[in-house]
Amino acid sequence: MQIKAVLFDLDDTLYGEFPICDREGFLAVGRYAERELGIPCDQFVTALQTGKKALHDRLYGEPESHDRVLYAKTTLEMLGINPIRHAEKMHKAYWDAVFRNMKLREGVHELFDVLRARGVQVGICTNMLADIQMQKLCLLGLDERVDFLVTSEEAGADKPKPAIFELALARAGCTAEEALMVGDTFKHDILGAHHAGIEGIWLHIGSDRAVEKPGLRYTEARSFPEAAHLILARVDRKSDTI
């Protein structure tokens, strides 16, 4: 069956390395706290990690668990500080630092251009909030190279829950058998896609581990150029079988 859409995760798949971006974001918030609140940077960063965990424990699997405004709000409230004046500014400081440190992976632009030239839709299927992910796509030069974006915010649940994959298929106007999912997180991207009936290509570039499951269909790549080669091979091979 012909591949009509390739779905890509965004963070740590199309750009890297998010742990570095995240660390720089936390430090930017810590510097804001030191400058505006008189709290030492390292002390506030530690508190922010605690606030993040508290939010994740309360909202696990929900898109709002990614909201850096809520990280800041939760942390400030834990410290007995009114968050209204500061939380949004901390949110901006965090994301400005992340955006500055994003590095597009080799071959992304070229792959997207080739896929679209061959009539294959390029979709972004990602956890996180829509406004932030749209900003990333623009800054990475991908906004005009992507046919659609689906976020967990609009799907109402994070990957690996099926809602986001189902929404992506609806946006693409194709069946699960006519799509591929490409991502770096095995549980979220590969297992999640599997449960939605979508074949996966796992960009295994970190310490994430595979999980054995009967009937699981996926291919492993150790770099984005290798993943691109596998994607195009699948697109070509399935087109030839019609």
Q: Provide the residue count of the chain.
A: 242
Alpha-carbon gap, residue 202 to 182, rounded angstroms:
6
- Give dist(CA 129, CA 20) in Å, integer: 20
Which residues does residue 148 pair with via DSSP β-bridges, in sequence order? 123
* Whole-angstrom distance, CA of residue 242 vs CA of residue 230: 19
Q: In 10 A of CB 215, how many CB atoms?
A: 5
Q: Is 11 annotated as catalytic?
A: yes
Task: Decide if 236 is catalytic.
Answer: no
Count of CA atoms in the C-beta half-sphere (13 A) of 219: 17
C-alpha distances (whole Å) from 172 to each of 94, 103, 126, 196 are 33, 27, 15, 14
Kindly report the number of other CB atoms within 10 A of residue 219's CB atom: 17
Helix/strand/coil for 199: strand
Residues designated as active site: 9, 11
